[in-house]
Amino acid sequence: MPAPDPLGFLSDALAGAEEAARALLGQERVRLAVTGLSRAGKTVFLTSLVANLLAAGAGLSTLPALEAAAAGRLRRVRLLPAGVEAVPRFDPEAHLAALAADPPRWPARTEDLSTLALTLELDRRSWLGSVFGARRVTLELLDYPGEWLLDLPMLRQSYAEWSAATLARLRRGARAAAFGPFLAFVDALPAAAPAEDALSRRGFALYREGLRAARDTHGLRLLQPGRFLNPGPRGEAPLMWFFPLPHPEGGGLAELCARRYAAYLADQRSVFLEPFFRRFGRQAVLVDVLAALHQGEEAFDDTAAALAEITAALRYGGSLLDRLTGQGVRRVAFVATKADHVPERQRAALTALLEDLVQAPRERALAAGAETGVHALAAIRCTEDDTAIVDGRPVEAVRGVLLESGRVARVYPGEVPPRRPGPEFWRHGRRFAMPDFQPPRLDPHGAAGVPHLGLDTLLAWLIGDLL
């Protein structure tokens, strides 16, 4: 257990008191932490969430399950006007316009933090409403590069611990191939290597090459540190010139790497992790389950391991101090994204497979007293169900327009197993990548929301009790 932190306790107590006062006034504020590895679908999810909530607030039935949860009391939804935030603003309009354009464009890889808050105005349940006015629930949202999440578990490790764990991992499985040149380099370094910048930069470059190869050719996920893969708006900085060493305790190069490791973490903590992940009330963990399945056994297990590491490092509350200060996460939804990649009948299997994949994170959230749920959703539905003939037999498939060629295709995603499949399943060893589809025809302003699958059920479960 980490040592109690008096300042942290004070800020938690203040936050708890503010929350209680806001709840009394009917002005709740809740932060929805959307977590997901890179390409899990966070940016698209947030775009669809904002567009559909705004449309629902304008009286369209884009989110029927959420409206039912609010018992028709949802009166209006607005974007909270910008204040004096230093963080860029998440721009759903731009994303929507790009998705609706001809030819359509999906959001690029997210390279920076951005935030947005929505205010839901609700009628009060009773006549008291005329005295106290409408209730407002403010939903705070954050978009960020998925790679950065993996810096969270590093916060609890010293440089020596991280080095040992990382090197052990690099020597196993597909990583050994991806990191071959890097491993040869560090193994050849003498224990007392001097703190030369030439050495540290060479090591950094080789290590980063390895990370890229592991991500792009092997579909691996548990890749640290996050900014090596996605340097963000500030680009590469000297504090990133470190890498794991077999003798992390020595002087010289080892000491330099340890100092940079600490500086890197301090930086990530202060700009990203502490402001946004220290406190949140609801969480949606987005996982591209199908891609993990299609990328082979090692990638599948690596995704599970990465998610487990991240959730183990997140603060779910549940300790005595957290109870005292009223902190803690109430609901955690595990969400299989891009559910439109499988036909309707297979979505139950997709959910079941996700449930199996996130078993460890789920137990962790449950132990801290949070409610957990497992869902499948398509933030933007791009396909319709159809049948195709494969090997002379009819199978259920999905049909959509391919992004690149603009041609119609049916895609048979394979049979989704309801739990982690045994060795039999992976034997053919061939990896598959689901093609990108064009989004359906959309209104460029998104005034009517966007077609989705299951977004309303998820939101009703996540925030329905606040409405």
Partner 1 sequence: MSAPGTPPPREPRVILEEGEAPPPRSAAPAPRDRETPPAPRLDFGWERAVAQGSAARPRPAGGWSSLGLLGAGAAVLVLGLSALEAANFVAAQFARATWLGVLTLGVAGAGYGLIGAALWREARGLAALRSVDRARAAFARGDHATARAEALRWAAEVPAAQSVLPALRAANDPDSLRAILEAGPLAALEAQAQALGRAAALQAFAVTAISPSAGFDALVFASRGVRLVRQVAALHGLRPGLAGTLALLRRTLLDAATVAATDVAVDTAARALLTNPLLEKIAGEAAAGAVAARRMLRLARAASEACRIVPRR
Ligand X SMILES: Nc1nc2c(ncn2[C@@H]2O[C@H](COP(=O)(O)OP(=O)(O)OP(=O)(O)O)[C@@H](O)[C@H]2O)c(=O)[nH]1
Residues that bind Mg ion (CB under 5 A): 42-43, 110
Is 18 one of the binding residues for partner 1 (CB under 8 A)?
no
Coil, helix or strand at residue 76: strand
Q: For residue 201, how many other CB atoms are within 10 A of its CB?
A: 14
Is 217 one of the binding residues for partner 1 (CB under 8 A)?
no
Of Mg ion, ligand X, partner 1, none, which one sits near residue 310, judging by CB under 5 to 8 A according to partner kind?
none
Is 58 one of the binding residues for partner 1 (CB under 8 A)?
yes
The C-alpha atoms of residue 155 and residue 162 are separated, in whole angstroms, by 10
The C-alpha atoms of residue 72 and residue 64 are separated, in whole angstroms, by 10
Residue (110 or 303) nearer to Mg ion, CB: 110
Choices 172-180, 200-208, 217-225, 441-449; region in contact with partner 1 by CB under 8 A = 441-449
Q: What is the DSSP letter of 444?
A: T
- Among 413, 455, 458, 462, which residue interacts with partner 1 (rule: CB under 8 A)? 413
Residue 390 is encoded by which pair of tokens?
């494969």
Residue (82 or 324) nearer to partner 1, CB: 82
The C-alpha atoms of residue 161 and residue 152 are separated, in whole angstroms, by 15
Q: Are strands 135-143 and 114-122 parallel, antiparallel or unpaired?
A: antiparallel
Q: What is the DSSP letter of 272?
A: I
The C-alpha atoms of residue 424 and residue 246 are separated, in whole angstroms, by 36
The C-alpha atoms of residue 221 and residue 301 are separated, in whole angstroms, by 9
Minimal distance in Å, beta carbon 349 to partner 1? 12
- Among 17, 20, 128, 184, which residue interacts with partner 1 (rule: CB under 8 A)? 128
Contact present, 242 and 204 (Cβ < 8 Å):
yes
The C-alpha atoms of residue 236 and residue 61 are separated, in whole angstroms, by 46
Choices 29-37, 202-210, 243-251, 385-393; region in contact with partner 1 by CB under 8 A = 385-393
Residue (180 or 231) nearer to ligand X, CB: 231
Minimal distance in Å, beta carbon 36 to Mg ion? 9
Minimal distance in Å, beta carbon 443 to ligand X? 17
Is 251 one of the binding residues for partner 1 (CB under 8 A)?
no
Contact present, 381 and 399 (Cβ < 8 Å):
no
Minimal distance in Å, beta carbon 144 to Mg ion? 8
Minimal distance in Å, beta carbon 319 to Mg ion? 32
282 beta partners:
32, 331
**CA distances for 295 relative to 288, 290, 299, 433, angstroms:** 11, 9, 6, 7
- Among 231, 359, 395, 420, which residue interacts with partner 1 (rule: CB under 8 A)? 395
Is 410 one of the binding residues for partner 1 (CB under 8 A)?
yes
365 beta partners:
none
Contact positions vs ligand X (CB under 6 A): 36, 38-44, 106-107, 109-110, 145-146, 337-338, 340-341, 378-380, 382, 436-437
User: Interface with partner 1 by CB under 8 A: which residues?
Assistant: 27, 55, 58-62, 64, 71-73, 75-76, 81, 104, 123-133, 294, 381-384, 388-391, 393, 395, 397, 400-402, 404-415, 425, 428, 430, 432-435, 438-441, 443, 448-451
